[in-house]
Amino acid sequence: MENYIADSPLLLPLREQHSRLRDGRLSARTVVEAAVDAHQRRGKHDNAYITWNGDGAFANAAAVDCVLTNGGDAGPLMGCAVSVKDNYGVPGFPIYAGASERLPEKWEKAGPVVEVLLSQLPSLMGKTHTVELAFGGLGTNAHWGAPRNPWDEVSQRVPGGSSSGAGVSLVGGTASLALGSDTAGSIRIPASMTGVAGLKLTAGRWSIDQIVPLSPTLDTPGLMAFRVDDLAFAFEAMDAAGSKAGRGKSFELDLADLTFGVPERYFWECCSPGVAEAVETAIRSLESAGARIVKLDLPGAEEVFELFQRGGIAAAELASFLHTENTGLMNRLDRNVALRVEEAQNIPAWEYVHRRQVIDQLSEMAKPYIKKVDAILTPTVAITPPALSDLKDECEYKKSNMLALRNTVVANFLGLCALTMPVGQDRTGMPVGLQVIGGGNEETFLLEVGRAIERELGTGLDILGTPPEPGTRDRLS
C-alpha cells in the first residue's frame, strides 16, 4: 500500500507534536497545511466531514503560532488538528446530528467538553458525519451518505458508527484527534473498523451537556486517535478541567504486572473469518511478554444483548427527545432509525422502568468480576465491515447492525469504561480491534494498561500502515 501521508506531521504522536510546536520544529500552520492537503486529495472520496473548516483552521493556526512565538501556551492540545462529531455544539458551526435539517440554534452552543477543548486553541478542522441522531453502529446515513472506509478501494465498506466520520478523518490525514460519542459502541466500532484507537468513557465521567442526546442514561463523550498513547495524552489534557471524577496523572505499567481476563463465551461468537484469529494472536503475544491470562466470563453479557435486541432504553429515550424538543424531525427520519423509534413508542412506562432496573442490576453483578483482573480482553467488533451494497435490504442492515454492536454494548450497559486498539487484519484485509474493558471511572488506569499493550504489540500505524491514496489501485492495474 502507498504511504501517501507517511510524512504528514499529523501522524506524529501527540506528545511529539506538543514538543515540536513549542521548540519551533513544527508550526501550527504546517499542521493545518498538511490537513488541508490531505482533504484536497481525498476529501470528496472519504466524505468524512459535513462541515469543513480549512480557512478557519488557517486563521486559528496564525494566532497559535503568534502566541507560541511569544512564549504563551493555552494547553497541551494547542495547535493540534482536531475533528468534532456533528452531534456536539460548536459555536459558529451549524449542527445537524446526522438529521436531514439543521437543528435549532440553541444546540450550537458549546458544552463543557467543547469548552475545555476550544480553550486550548486546537486547530478545529471541521465537524464529522454521524449516523442520524447517533442511532446506528454501521455508519450509514440516508440523508448525507456514509463516509467511505479507506481500507477498501474496491468495495465501499462502512466506516462504523455512529461516529462515522471520526475514524475516517484520522486515517484520511485531516486530524490527529477526533471527538466522538458512545452509547452502545459508537466510538469503539468506527475506531476498530478504521484501524485507530478509541476510548469510551464511563457514563457521567464527562458532561454530555450540548451533545444532542440519544440516551442520556448511556451517552458518553469519547476520543479517537492513532495511538492509545495519544488517547492518554488528550484524556489527561481534557480530564483535568472537565472531569467529575479525576484520578490523578498517568503512570507506567509493565505487562508482567498485569492480569487479563479473557472470556471463553459470548464475545467470540459470530466472528468473521480472521477476526478471532487476529485477537487471539495478540493475546498470545501479551502472554509471551509476561502478562497473566486467565479465563473470565463476564456475567450479564448474554442478558445485555437480549435486552439490547429488544430495544434497550435508547430508542425510548430518543423518542422522548424527538417528541419534547419540537425538532420537527419525527416524520423525516432515516427509515433505519424510524423503525426503532416507532417500536419504542409501544413500550409501556413500566417496561422502560424495568429495563432501567435490569441494567442497574447487571452492572452491580459485574463489579466483583471486573475487580478480579486488571482488564478484560475481547474482540472489539465481531464482523468485517460490510459493503454498503449488502445493506440495502432492511433485514440485512438490522442483522449487521446488531452484530457490529454486539461486543461493545456490554460495557455501556454494565457501566464500564473501555478502549479499542488495532491488532491486525481479518481475511479481507480490514482492520481488527482488540477491546480492553476496565472498571467504571478507571480511565486513567485503563489507558496505562492500553499503553503497556501498545508498547508490546505496536500502534496501528506500525501494524496497518496507512490506507492507499484514492485511485492507487486504478493506477497500478
- Nearest-angstrom CA–CA distance, 78 and 177: 12
Of the residues 8, 27, 85, 127, only one is catalytic, namely: 85
Grid look-up 482488540 returns 434
Beta bridge partners of 221: 181
- Nearest-angstrom CA–CA distance, 323 and 132: 16
85 is catalytic: yes
372 is catalytic: no
Beta bridge partners of 376: 261, 437
Of the residues 163, 164, 181, 186, only one is catalytic, namely: 186
Beta bridge partners of 295: 262
Give the 3-state DSSP-derived string for the chain, with helices as H, strands as E and coil as C.
CCCCCCCCHHHCCHHHHHHHHHHCCCCHHHHHHHHHHHHHHHHHHHCCEEEECHHHHHHHHHHHHHHHHCCCCCCCCCCCEEEEECCECCCCCCCCCCCCCCCCHHHHCCCHHHHHHHCCCCEEEEEECCCHHHCCCCCCCCCCCCCCCCCCCCCCECCCCCCHHHHHHHHCCCCCEEEEEECCCCCHHHHHHHCCEEEECCCCCECCCCECCCCCCCCEEEEEECCHHHHHHHHHHHHHHHECCCCCCCCCCCHHHCEEEECCCCCCCCCCCCHHHHHHHHHHHHHHCCCEEEECCCCCHHHHHHHHHCCCCHHHHHHHHHHHCCCCCHHHCCHHHHHHHHHHCCCCHHHHHHHHHHHHHHHHHHHHHHCCCCEEEEECCCCCCCEHHHHCCHHHHHHHHHHHHCCCHHHHHCCCEEEEEEEEECCCCCEEEEEEEECCCCHHHHHHHHHHHHHHHCCHHHHHCCCCCCCHHHHHC
C-alpha cell, 408: 461493545
Contact 378, 297 (CB under 8 A): no
Of the residues 27, 123, 162, 169, only one is catalytic, namely: 162
162 is catalytic: yes
Active site residues: 85, 162, 186
